[in-house]
Structure 1
């Protein structure tokens, strides 16, 4: 199977969101890298990649943004520096795996996209309303806001889950998320204030996303609806709506499920799951047990 076939196969699966997000970031990085090197070899550096980057990065000028609205999404897949994309992809893989396992692919994609939008929104507000940033044209690019949303979302969902970190040992992810937020705050007066502010927008979105989900409200529904529409458009298959005439014993349950009022697990089941965590750790739980634990947290 060729490289192109491998990429096509990765995007043909509906349960492969994390790999798809990672792959899109890598492909975009490689494309920008080739363009940058090509410009250097052909022009000797007299033409840089900046004009091209400005068409996919979020400008701080709202009037220019109106002519490039797609940048609110494309910026979250653009990287130029190797270390920038490396750390983003590592964190996306580690924390995204938790979100995907516990909440599913659609929630992971929603969190990534909403994190990007929230990061861009806070960046635009800051650079147009805070005096110290006004008159300083800037562009925003990179997946950091989306990744920060996923980090904080995972920490809000599973605060006591632990990662084994070299030289530090086991560390609960709520502390990792706290450090990420504090570092972003500390960096606002540094060389990349726009990026750090965008991180904070993503962090706030990640926290609110999970908290609202625990209350039965899915902030990602608009994202999922747009994704379904685009998927149906690309596949050329219209979405079908099935209407049932008459009543059904399953109808109330289906209606409750759509509203987020899923049946709560029994207390005995929760006690057994908590005992299993104390004996073997959270990683030993099955997917069904994790879902039961999450439903119980919605009480």
Structure 2
């Protein structure tokens, strides 16, 4: 397959799937560097537990999430991101997913840093944080809090989303009490907290990630190619373009109003209260975004 074909298929992926591809690529490249030349880049990007070490590589508050400790680590993270991301992208656009995901990564990293510099039992442990778990957990808990009564099929029976969210939070709490990887579990809980607060605030009409979305817009504009100025010339056109533009704006506004109405219905009565036509419309709208 040529590069054009690869770019085409990548462009067709939703944002959750693109994050999965990026994580897998980093995992493969890091593994190749380790296996072929005995060099790993993870030390430059992992989040250290010591605050002063963190100040020397502040980018690690985000970059730690792209590295994983092994095949099982990345497999379960990406599997969870795939299923949670599919539900998320049926409701919201790519920028909101990125906001929830990376805010979860950041809050999880901050909880890790704070914990290892506050709790006496953790101070002497030699560790650093890697893995996308905090961001993935933020996305999962977000949808569990936003549409808690939505049921999903797990093997032979249906389970409500809030049951799934509660299960993962309890697993992390039990692991902290009786198991290892305490720092990682605390980071999960930091991501879960962010996802829950984000969803509940959004249901109240407040988007706590709006600043993050603007940051993504700014970064996107920086990498957009600038339009070359065409030479000035006089062109006479009919005014039909104004009519087309007005119609496009009207269609967009009508579509957004319909999406808002459906989301309001979900927040009040749950996803299952939607008609099949409403579900199909929401799914199609999420794909178009």
Report how many residues are paired: 257
Q: Distance in 1 between matches of 2:271 and 2:39?
A: 57
- Stretches (4+) displaced over 4 A: 10-13, 261-266, 273-276, 288-291
1:129 alignment partner, SS class: coil
- 2:94 and 2:136 map into 1 onto residues whose CA distance is 15
Q: 2:74 aligns with which of 82, 85, 92?
A: 85
Equivalent residues of 1:101, 1:287 under 8 A apart: no
The aligned residue for residue 103 of structure 1 is: 92
1:128 aligns with one of 111, 117, 120:
117
Match of 1:180 among 168, 171, 186: 168
Q: Deviations over 1:224-258 (max 9, x none)?
A: 112111111112449xxxxxxxxxxxxxxxxxx9x
- In structure 2, the CA distance between the partners of 1:160 and 1:113, relative to structure 1 (3 Å rule), is same
Unaligned 5+ segments in structure 2 are 228-252
DSSP-derived class of the 1:170 partner: strand
TM-score of the two chains, using structure 1 as the length reference: 0.75
Q: 1:283 to 1:71 in 2, by over 3 A?
A: farther
- C-alpha distance in 1 between matches for 2:17 and 2:259: 31
- Give distance in 2, aligned partners of 1:264 and 1:186: 39
Aligned counterpart for 1:286 among listed residues 280, 284, 287:
280
Secondary structure of the equivalent of 1:80? coil
Contact in 2 for aligned 1:29/1:80 (Cα 8 Å)? no
* Equivalent position of 1:197 in the other structure: 186
Q: Which ranges of structure 1 fall in alignment gaps of 5 or more residues?
A: 40-46, 239-256, 292-299
- The CA distance in 1 between the partners of 2:270 and 2:191, in whole Å, is 34
Report the TM-score, using the length of structure 2 for normalisation: 0.78
Whole-Å Cα distance in 1 between the matches of residues 64 and 107 of structure 2? 13
Name 2:213's counterpart in structure 1.
Answer: 224
Aligned to 1:24: 22
CA RMSD of aligned residues (A): 3.5
CA–CA distance in 2 between the matches of 1:274 and 1:178?
Answer: 20
Residue matched to 2:130: 141
**1:257-294 per-position Cα deviation (integer Å, ceiling 9, x unaligned):** 9xxx999749xx959x96993697x8972344999xxx
Report the Cα distance in structure 1 between the residues aligned to 2:54 and 2:9, rounded to whole angstroms. 32
Mapped to 1, the partners of 2:54 and 2:191 lie a distance apart of: 19
More deviation, 222-231/149-158: 222-231
Structure-1 residue corresponding to 2:151:
162
2-structure distance, mates of 1:82, 1:113: 22
1:122-152: per-residue Cα shift (whole Å, max 9, x none)? 1111100111111323210101001111110
Q: Relative contact order (C-alpha < 8 Å, sep 6+): which is higher?
A: 2
Q: Which residue is 2:35 aligned to?
A: 37
2:4 is the alignment partner of 1:8: no
Cα displacement (A) at 1:210: 0.8
Are residues 138 and 178 of structure 1, via their aligned partners in 2, closer, same or farther at CA, if it must alter by over 3 Å?
A: same
Q: Which has the larger displacement, 29-38 or 141-150?
A: 29-38
> CA 1:195/1:264 → structure 2, altered by over 3 Å: closer, same or farther?
closer
Deviation at 1:171, TM superposition (A): 1.3
